[in-house]
Homo-oligomer: A and B are copies of this chain.
Amino acid sequence: MFQSKLFYKAKKEFPKDEESINAKYLIRAGFIEKLSSGVYEFLPLGFRVLEKITDLVRKEMLSLNAQELLLPALHPKENWLATQRWEKFDALFKLKSRTGSEYALGPTHEEIIFPLVKEMISSYKDLPLALFQIQTKFRDELRAKAGLLRGREFLMKDLYSFHKTNEEVEKFKEKVDRAYLRIFKVLGLKVYKTFASGGTFSKYSTEFQVPTEFGEDEILICSNCKVAWNKEIKSDRICNFCKEILTDHKAIEVGNTFNLGDSFSKSFDLKFKDKDGKEKYVFAGCYGLGISRLMGAIVEVFHDDRGIIWPEKVAPFTFHILILKKKVNLSEVESIVKIIEKLKKDYLLDERNISFGQKLVESDLIGIPYRLVLSERLKNMIEFKERKSEKVKLLKISELFKFLKEKLKIK
């Protein structure tokens, strides 16, 4: 894509009405705009990142044999009364239609998916079942000052699984845990599997916590075991496993996996007929992953004074080609573009008529992982630089394909 055509404008300063690193950087670099407190607009750069995170998460969900569906945001009041959460869930947005129907705007979908599953299944043969969606959620947050980390409107993946026994839920939960860890590994994100309060059916639920100063959770990390405890369940400061002293961190929860037991099944009378002919309550788990929140967490972790440093798999583009010469050699640019297309990667080409210094500043701000510079001072060589490194490498165009293929580990 040509940068001159991109709906994008870098700002000279960080926005003054944002406190969090993620919102400051993402707004300044032209990825998002704030519409109102906790409500953000995703511009083309930001949308591309969301899409890439979505693709990565969807692939892992499908690998669990979960099926994708799409549930509404408008939830009937009755469904939330059935679980007593109409009153108990503080952050529930509520509204009324002209004809008097009352709705909640869904912050989660247990109240919707349990009655749906009840409509569709009846026998042990219908289980296990795993369903997920990637959908916009709403929470009436009192304080929404952490950018994408805590929004009033946000994009989330929610997965629900349904089983014959509690043990089956636990086994499936472990599979989801591993899928989440694979996602974080691809992103290079250090995420702590964190013990948190679990409700009735299992001692703990699992939170996936990213340490960051703008996180709203407090966790205790064992640097030896690489696990953590949410402070809400942990008064002592010594690791259960290795007796190491735990350290305090602020963190943001980017995902969770939770054994619901049969609690929601009881609220909605969700039962199945087992092999022995008896009717039993369905056991279930729920598994959330914040898509837009993950985008925010990535920026909290991967940035420096100059801007964002995107992990390759979710960067808005893989390559940033900067033309820092007055006389552009079009065939040279075309050759580079062809090489990138042959590698099946995407690129942003800065061919704008602005100062070279400004192009370099904005390139660092946007944070595309690989930069290729064409400049008069380089003669016919091309400068390659990774955003995360200070080293540069000069290459002939004839060497470029082989070099990039190895660098990006493309088979």
Instruction: Evaluate contact between A7 and B131: CB separation under 8 angstroms.
Output: yes
How far apart are the CA atoms of A354 and B360 in the complex, in Å? 65
CB 8 Å contact bits of A139-157 with B (1 = contact, 0 = none): 0101000000000110100
Interface centre among A39, A75, A112 (most CB of B within 10 A): A39
Is A70 positioned at the interface, with any CB of B under 8 Å from its CB? yes
Q: Which of A53-72 contact B (CB under 8 A)?
A: 65, 67-72
A210 interfacial contact with B, CB 8 Å: no
**Residue A9 at the B interface, CB < 8 A?**
yes
Known: A7-B120, A36-B101, A120-B9. A70 touches B42 (CB 8 A): yes
For the complex formed, measure the closest distance between the CB of A124 and the CB atoms of chain B, giving whole angstroms: 13
Whether a CB of chain B sits under 8 angstroms from the CB of A14 is no
Q: Given B9, B112, B155, which contacts A41 in the complex, CB threshold below 8 Å?
A: B112
A73 at the interface (CB under 8 A from B): yes
A356: interface (CB < 8 Å): no
Q: Does A40 contact B (CB under 8 A)?
A: yes
Contact (Cβ within 8 A) A69 B95? no
Contacts A7-B120, A33-B116, A74-B152; A69 near B41 (Cβ below 8 A) = yes
Contacts of A5 in B (CB 8 A): 65
Interface flags for A227-255 (1: CB within 8 Å of B; 0: not) read 00000000000000000000000000000
User: Is A374 positioned at the interface, with any CB of B under 8 Å from its CB?
Assistant: no
Interface set, chain A 66-86, CB cutoff 8 A to B: 67-76
Cα-based distance from A152 to B39 in the complex (angstroms):
22
Q: Which of A74, A75, A91 has the most CB of B within 10 A?
A: A74
Q: Are B40 and A72 in contact (CB under 8 A)?
A: yes
- B39, B98, B119: which contacts A74 (Cβ < 8 A)? B39
A129 interface hit (Cβ, 8 Å): yes
Interchain CB contact under 8 A, B94 and A69: no
Q: Check: A44 CB closer than 8 A to any chain B CB.
A: yes
A267 interface residue, CB < 8 Å from B?
no
Query: Nearest Cβ distance between residue A349 and chain B, in whole angstroms?
Result: 15
Main secondary structure of the interface of A (DSSP, over half): mixed
List CB contacts (< 8 Å) of A1-56 with chain B.
Answer: 5-9, 33, 35-37, 39-44, 46-47, 50
Q: Verify B41–A71 contact, CB threshold 8 A.
A: yes
Instruction: Flag if A74 contacts B138 (CB, 8 Å).
Output: yes
A201 interface hit (Cβ, 8 Å): no
B7 touches A140 (CB 8 A): no
Within 8 A of B (CB), among A273-293: none
A205 within 8 A of B: no
* A74 nearest CB across to chain B (Å): 5
Provide the residues of chain B in CB contact with A98, threshold 8 Å: 90-91, 140, 142
A97 at the binding interface (Cβ < 8 Å): yes
A sample of 22 inter-chain contacts (CB < 8 A) reads A7-B67, A36-B74, A36-B76, A36-B101, A36-B103, A37-B101, A39-B72, A41-B71, A41-B116, A43-B69, A47-B69, A70-B155, A74-B138, A74-B153, A93-B97, A94-B95, A95-B95, A95-B105, A97-B140, A98-B140, A98-B142, A105-B105
Binding site for B on A (CB under 8 A): 5-9, 33, 35-37, 39-44, 46-47, 50, 65, 67-76, 90-91, 93-95, 97-99, 101, 103, 105, 112, 116, 119-121, 129, 131, 136, 138, 140, 142, 152-153, 155
- Extra pairs beyond A7-B69, A73-B73 (5, CB < 8 Å): A35-B71, A35-B76, A39-B72, A72-B153, A73-B138
